[in-house]
Amino acid sequence: MPVTPIRTSGRTEYTAYCPRCRAVHRHTGPGPRRGPCGARYTIPYADADETE
C-alpha cells in the first residue's frame, strides 16, 4: 500500500491510498487501521533512516 508521511505542526501523519474505495485516507500513526469507508489495512512503520 503506498503511504506518504506528512509533517504537520508537532507530529507526522500518513496518507494512504485505500485498496477498497481508492480514495486517500489520512491517519495519525502507523499500524493496523480502518478507513472511513470501512476498509482495514496496515500503515507500515517508518524505517529508522526516515525518522532521523
Kindly give the confidence (pLDDT) of every residue in the chain, 52 residues in length, as a single tens digit, with 9 standing for 90 and above: 678 888 888 888 999 999 899 999 999 989 999 999 999 999 988 654 444 4
Model pLDDT, residue 32: 94
Model pLDDT, residue 31: 92
Through-space distance between the first and last CA atoms of the chain, rounded to whole angstroms: 23
* Cα separation, 15 vs 44, whole angstroms: 11
